[in-house]
Amino acid sequence: MKKDLIIAGGTVIDPVNKIEEIRDVLIRGGKIVSVARGILAKRAKKGKKPDFQAIDARGCWVTPGLIDLHVHLRQPGQSADETIITGTRAAARGGITSLVTMANTSPVLDTPARLKSLLAQIKKDALVNVFPVGAITVGLKGKKLTNLDALAHAGAIAFSDDGMPVVNSKLMRAALEASKRLNRPVLDHAETPHLTGTGVVHEGAFSKRAKLKGIPSRSETLMVMRDIALAHQTGGTLHICHASCAESVELVRRAKAQGVRVSAEAAPHHFTLTDDDIDPKNASFKMKPPLRGGNDREAIIQGLADGTIDAIATDHAPHRATRKKVGIKKAPFGMTGLETAIPLSLNLTRRGALDARRFVERMSVFPAKLLGLKTKGHLGKGADADITVIDPNAEETYATTASKCRNTPFWGRRLRGLARATIVSGKIAYLRGRN
């Protein structure tokens, strides 16, 4: 018989069940059995050889497993940048127990057969739960709608052309109609290609100073406006990916007040850095959408604090070193993020902008709700035993990674607040100091 697992002595933060105090968590058969005081003490008293395994969580937060709504695992076809094995190892190390992987692979996840083959590979290789999205348009080319019904049936958890915007409004409307019919969210990479052009960084004082082509905020907000209008019309569920500017936050705020089914995520780099922080010699600072201005960053933080922005998602986008070495103008967009989501988010906690409960809501409760995962996002009896144990005071210099890539501006920096243990379906996927 498999041993029970007890996570002992940590502060359990379970917003759904309104728990925020020191408790033990008892896990059996991959499910939560109970969250109560003194579970370990009772079991230890029996005096015999222990029939359980314990994780010491004293001084730590014990939260429902973190769910990352935005990851590029790069499989199939781009295994020089990442694979299911390395990407989910990085996720576990970063305290993430479930993730959504995007469809801009090679080939694109635009047919049921491709989705099914990826799901079989996930079953074999993944260390954490992986939920693939199905593409909205064939080959992400923006010309022809995929068979969204068949993709949903084959296991697509959401629909997205992420990496590319859906420029054709008729196709976006059809995707949102499918969203309503099939009860799957549309994950919206909001960008207007003609306004982005060959831009490299945010259009503003920095782009002028550095003599780099700019990407205006309007490139994002114009599509946010359009897609909110289409969501309003269709009743589909619209989720704005990687909101980066103040106006996007305001648009989502107003749309919610009008009853539109819209939500939004922000990436840790967008609430941590601004374009002023960019080192033009380091292409790891290049991502889409770009690092914006100080007022944008503050608006994102405010949006996260008041719930206008519902989720924190990493947009983990690994690129091998040779592709980033060509300089900021030519390098591809994207940075890794799975291992830095906790410490960067806890920076907001430390500055008083996001308390522990809201942190868990943004990184677990809401993502589970958006994806319709009823047994995740909380620690109620019978829930999946996906748990993140976070030591808010643990520190390290970011100098090793489980990812294949290290294209992140936080490489070599001091990180504070780290996963001590990551439990997936009752099994230890990561234990700090062990792996």
Q: What backbone phi and psi angles, to 5 degrees, belong to 23?
A: -145, 160
Is residue 68 part of the annotated active site? The answer reads no
Per-residue burial over 151-161, b = 16 or more CB atoms within 10 Å of its CB, e = otherwise: bbebebbbbbb
Amino acid identity of residue 412, one-letter, is G
- Which of helix, strand or coil describes residue 55? strand
Q: Which two tokens stand for residue 181?
A: 């019919």
Do 392 and 419 contact (CB within 8 A), yes or no?
no
Residues 294-323 that bind Zn ion (CB under 5 A): none
Residue from 68, 81, 161, 162 in contact with Zn ion (CB under 5 A): 162
Q: Closer to Zn ion by CB, 23 or 189: give it.
A: 189
Catalytic residue among 24, 81, 310, 315: 315
From 42-50, 161-169, 303-311, 342-350, span contacting Zn ion (CB under 5 A): 161-169
68 binds Zn ion (CB under 5 A): no
Minimum Å gap between C-beta 239 and Zn ion is 12
Q: Closer to Zn ion by CB, 189 or 378: give it.
A: 189
What's 300-311 look like in SS3?
HHHHHHHCCCCE
Residue 342 CA from chain centroid, whole number: 11
From 184-192, 276-284, 290-298, 318-326, span contacting Zn ion (CB under 5 A): 184-192
**Helical residues (DSSP H) of 130-202, grouped into ranges:** 148-154, 169-182, 193-196
CA-wise closest residue to 364 among 383, 350, 336, 382: 383
Q: Closer to Zn ion by CB, 24 or 265: give it.
A: 265
Indicate the angle between helix axes 246-257 and 294-306, nearest 10 degrees.
Answer: 30
Q: Closer to Zn ion by CB, 193 or 235: give it.
A: 193
Minimum Å gap between C-beta 288 and Zn ion is 6
Q: Closer to Zn ion by CB, 43 or 184: give it.
A: 184
From 59-67, 186-194, 231-239, 412-420, span contacting Zn ion (CB under 5 A): 186-194
384 binds Zn ion (CB under 5 A): no
From 28-36, 57-65, 80-88, 157-165, span contacting Zn ion (CB under 5 A): 157-165
Minimum Å gap between C-beta 251 and Zn ion is 17
State the pairing for strand pair 201-202/214-215. Answer: parallel
Minimum Å gap between C-beta 162 and Zn ion is 4
189 binds Zn ion (CB under 5 A): yes
Sign for the pseudo-dihedral over CA of 193, 197, 203, 206: positive
Minimum Å gap between C-beta 377 and Zn ion is 23
d(CA 19, CA 156): 33
User: Which of the residues are catalytic?
Assistant: 315
Question: Which residues are at the interface with Zn ion (CB under 5 A)?
Answer: 162, 189
